[in-house]
Chains A and B, each alone.
Chain A
Amino acid sequence: MSTIAVAPRQPAAGRVAAAAQAVAGAISDTADVAWRNLLTQLRTPQALVFSVIQPVIFVLLFRYAFGGAIHVPGTNYVDFLMPGIFAQTVAFGAVGTAVGLSGDVRTGILVRFRTLPMARIAVLAGRTAADLARNLLVVAVMIGVGFAAGFRSPHGAGALLAALGLVIAFGYAISWGFASLGLRVSDPEAAQAAAVPVLFLLVFTSAAFVPSTAMPGWLQAFGTHQPVDALVNAERALILGGPAAHDVLISLAWSGGLLVVFALLAARTYARMGR
């Protein structure tokens, strides 16, 4: 405390400049960490390939194996299905955030990062930014797969892009949630085992693959009040047409709220790792 007392007070302009410099530093650190994570992912393409294979299999299964038995009034099943697939793709993509960070805990590279004069938030922001870039890539692949399976986005490219914007926003928010998990577990396999059931629960109780009306009441009560369901409904309102504003706002509120809560939680977890 004594050092603060004797330090000369900085003039306001100096404080602003220092703050601006700190922000610029944090952004540059985030970009460097994101670059490292993307490069690492490109060099371990197995993980990337698997994160594409799973949703592809779901498209094939639901479009061709189960799809015939699922009747959604007023629309083609594949047009109903693809918004669910997009949501599922980014939700499960968040497992990558947890696995990646827990790997960094295990290798000890986080200890090095903690002793560097870098912005602390960059470790998390760089990871989630890289995972956002990966989500963009995987979702782009899924659009191609969807079109090959007969998906036509009946209300045009603009509606599809708007829906995908919601998907990417949700993916980014949930990625921060799984960042905390990754920091707490120093074993990537354990991180994966902990993450997957939560995501299965959220995705399969939502209307991602079947209309919620087909579920029993108690399940509907949970399934229709959670972020994946909100996302899928908003996507469908945009892609299949109809009044979309309400659903879009709900999904954005979920993603925004989750982002704030998860980011604070992750930052706190990271700060406490040295306690």
Chain B
Amino acid sequence: MTTPPAVEARGLRKAFGEVQALDGLSLVVPAGTVLGLLGPNGSGKTTTVSILATSLRPDAGRATVAGLDVVTDAARVRRVIGLAGQFAAVDPNLTGRENLRLIGRLSRLGRRQARARAGELLDSFGLNGAADRLVRGYSGGMRRRLDVAAALLHRPEVLFLDEPTTGLDPESRFALWDSVRDLASSGTTVLLTTQYLEEADALADHVVIISAGRVADTGTPAELKARLGTAVFHLDFAGKEAAQAAEAALTSAGYLPRRDGAGIQVRSAAGSGELTGMLRALDGSAPDPVSVAIREPTLDDVFLSLTRGGEAA
């Protein structure tokens, strides 16, 4: 027997006045996996999550969570999901513990169980010391951890995280990543939105890139990177003129250089061996580069190539 997908959306459309936030978005999240929904501001990430988490109705299209329709079966969907938002939706005038107990009771856990779960989660998110302090005195990272904890009170099958680390310092960010990894390894399905390509790369099994309310590309982080070749070269020159000469030489040799000031970036599918070919193309027609660096492509490269109209070779 095959397990039905934890989340499935087909042709979701949603307009806010004149703005078409979602324009036929479809995605599937297999149970027990982490999906990274990646896109710039205004691409429809939050709208997608809001629809899947039953707080917003789509204009058209269908979506199911754990096999339940998010519109016609919203009440049952709410028992199996957790949502942690971009704007840490906890009450600043309650303590951390009070917040969790409130959400626990409203999740219909019962008084005793809500108290027990609140204690467990405060513990596992490292908030024990601050548990009985008002949240308005928390740091951004602590608030965000509390927000994620609040989404986990009733042990949801599917967890939605809408830009969980936006605005966090690196330390808090890595701590949150660890929490997400723990959840995923314990079998929770996670749909995470992010603007950080690095974050999707670090956490997601699959990535869906959206732009203007539509899916622009999808694949595993490795597949997306492979599509852009295996190496990215950075050549730095002594000055802008030298870099311009090199740009021209590389272009006429069939490469696709992208120049920024005195630096040039070239992607290559042939791997690091391509460096000799490029240096040969520069030989005689442009000054030697001051420095050369080779790195693996990141999702940033994928993203830039998609949003610039597929300039990748």
Query: Secondary structure of the A side of the interface?
Result: helix
CA distance A33 to B91 in the complex (A): 12
- A275 interface residue, CB < 8 Å from B? yes
Contact B87 A118 (CB under 8 A): no
Q: How far is the CA of A217 from the CA of B105 in the complex (A)?
A: 55
Q: Mark A25-37, 1 if CB is under 8 A from B, else 0.
A: 1001100110110
**Complex alpha-carbon distance, A43 and B107, angstroms:** 24
Contact call B105/A111, Cβ cutoff below 8 A: no
Nearest B-chain residue to A122, judged by Cβ: B106
B57 within 8 A of A: yes
Q: How far is the CB of A1 from chain B (nearest CB, A)?
A: 8
B50 A111 Cβ-Cβ under 8 A: yes
Task: Across the interface, name the chain B residue whose C-beta is closest to A36.
Answer: B102
**Cβ-defined contact, B94 with A111, below 8 A:** no
A54 at the interface (CB under 8 A from B): no
Which residues from chain A sit less than 8 Å from chain B, CB to CB? 1, 3, 25, 28-29, 32-33, 35-36, 39-40, 43-44, 107-109, 111-118, 122, 274-275
Are A36 and B107 in contact, with the CB atoms below 8 A?
A: no
B308 to chain A, nearest CB (A): 33
Ranked nearest first, the 3 interchain pairs of A and B with the lowest CB-CB distance are: A108-B89, A114-B55, A108-B87
Closest chain B CB from A129 CB (angstroms): 15
B108 at the interface (CB under 8 A from A): yes
Determine if B108 and A25 form an interchain contact, defined as CB atoms under 8 angstroms apart.
yes
What are 8 A-B contacts with C-beta separation under 8 Å?
Answer: A3-B73, A36-B102, A43-B134, A112-B89, A112-B103, A112-B150, A115-B54, A116-B106
- B101 nearest in chain A by CB position: A32
The verdict on A113 contacting B106 (CB below 8 Å), with A3-B73, A43-B134, A108-B85 known, is yes
B57 touches A116 (CB 8 A): no
Show the binding face of B for A, using Cβ within 8 Å: 50, 53-57, 72-73, 75, 78-79, 81, 83, 85-94, 98, 102-103, 105-108, 134, 150, 154
Pairwise interchain contact A43-B93, C-beta atoms closer than 8 A:
yes
Q: Roughly how many angstroms separate A108 CA and B87 CA in the complex, as a whole number?
A: 6
> Which residues from chain B contact A44 at a C-beta distance below 8 Å?
93
Asked if A114 contacts B54 (CB within 8 A), the reply is: yes
Q: Which residue of A lies closest to B151 (CB)?
A: A112
- Among candidates B53, B91, B134, residue contacting A36 with C-beta atoms closer than 8 Å: B91
Do residues A116 and B56 form an inter-chain contact, with CB atoms below 8 A?
A: no
* Inter-chain contacts of A32 with B (CB < 8 A): 102, 105-106
A142 to chain B, nearest CB (A): 25
Beyond the given A44-B93, A111-B89, could you list 6 further A-B residue pairs with CB under 8 A, ordered by the A residue number? A108-B88, A111-B85, A112-B150, A116-B106, A122-B106, A274-B57
Q: Give chain A residues whose Cβ lies under 8 Å from the Cβ of B93.
A: 39-40, 43-44
Q: Which residues of A contact B78 (CB under 8 A)?
A: 115-117
Contact A118 B108 (CB under 8 A): yes
Cα-based distance from A114 to B103 in the complex (angstroms): 12
Separation of A32 and B98 alpha carbons in the complex (Å) = 11
When chains A and B are docked, how far (Å) is the Cα of A228 from the Cα of B103? 38
Residues of B within 8 A of A25 (CB): 108
Given contacts A32-B102, A43-B93, whether A117 and B87 have CB atoms under 8 Å apart is: no
From B99, which residue of chain A is reached at the shortest CB distance?
A36
Contacting pair B75 A117 (CB below 8 A): yes
B67 to chain A, nearest CB (A): 11
B105 / chain A contacts, CB cutoff of 8 Å: 28-29, 32
Q: How far is the CA of A31 from the CA of B131 in the complex (A)?
A: 23
Given A3-B73, A274-B56, A115:B83 Cβ within 8 A: yes
Inter-subunit contact B56/A112 (CB<8 Å): no
A115/B57 contact (C-beta < 8 A), A40-B93, A107-B87, A109-B90 known: no
Are A115 and B94 in touch, CB under 8 angstroms?
Answer: no
Q: Given the complex of chains A and B, what is the CA–CA distance between A3 and B68 in angstroms? A: 10
Bound: A70/B297 CA distance, A: 83
Cα of A1 to Cα of B85 in the assembled complex, Å: 32
- CB-contact partner of A40 in B57, B79, B83, B91, under 8 A: B91
Residues of A within 8 A of B98 (CB): 36, 39
Of the residues A39, A118, A275, contact of B94 by C-beta under 8 Å:
A39
Indicate the member of B90, B103, B106 with the most A CB atoms within 10 Å.
Answer: B106
Per the bound structure, the CA–CA distance linking A117 and B106 in Å amounts to: 7
Q: Which residues from A are CB-within-8-Å of B108?
A: 25, 117-118
What CA separation (Å) do A107 and B88 show in the bound complex?
A: 8
Closest to B153 in A: A116
Find the residue from B75, B91, B134 having the highest chain A CB count within 10 A: B91
CA distance A226 to B98 in the complex (A): 42
B-side contacts of A29, CB under 8 Å: 105-106
